[in-house]
Amino acid sequence: MRTTYPDFLAICTEQKVASFLSCAALGRETNDATFFFEADKNHCRWNCTFIFRTGVSDGNIEWRKYEIESTKNSAPKKTITSSSVYGNAYHDWSPKYATDSIFQSGGIKIFHSANETSPWIMVDLKDVTTVIYLRIYVRMDGLGERFHDVAVEVANSSSYIQRGFYKGPAMTQEVVEILCDDPTNARYVRLRIIHGSRNVLNIAELEIYTK
């Protein structure tokens, strides 16, 4: 299990606001799971793009970080399946690597689908759970733009409905947060590319934050 949390480089919109509540409202308008507030100056940072880094300050040390309330990341140790695996090489690109809590910097031991119209990856949470947001670590060695037009789809049986969406395209090493519609109560959580005809889904790590 992870013992230290990865560092992010955050690139955000910044503005002076009237209060903390005003900052929170800006975050809600852009469906942010995370925003920053500096109380001394009433400055707000929201609509952030997060880039995975190690050993680099994200420039937000003097800011207080706020996240949508959740209890835990429920993805680890759950059953995970996918529409395909590139070359059927499960040793290198199995969907299980997306929830192993290991942040791979290369192109193996990550999830890598085949080239298809609408690739997906699905986590079975075992029980119906309130899903708050998803945090996705995009492939870190290149080809981050493959992560685009991704829907968060959920189900309790076999019928999926969309409860979140990320347009993209993402950047290499980006950390994407997708806030789910409220309320989202589900057992099965699926990420699926829903636009385009030749798509590959790459995920270095997937976290599902729940209550």
Q: Could you tell me the domains of the chain?
A: 7-67 (no CATH), 73-210 (2.60.120.260)
pLDDT at 3: 34
| For residue 61, pLDDT beyond 90 | no
Nearest to 122 by CA among 146, 92, 154: 154
| For residue 6, pLDDT beyond 50 | yes
Beta strands in 61-183 (DSSP E): 64-67, 72-73, 79-82, 111-112, 120-137, 150-155, 161-166, 174-179
Supply 138's token pair. Answer: 């995009």
Integer Cα distance of 203 and 152 in angstroms? 14
| For residue 153, pLDDT beyond 80 | yes
| For residue 91, pLDDT beyond 50 | yes
| For residue 63, pLDDT beyond 90 | no
| For residue 139, pLDDT beyond 80 | yes
| For residue 76, pLDDT beyond 90 | yes
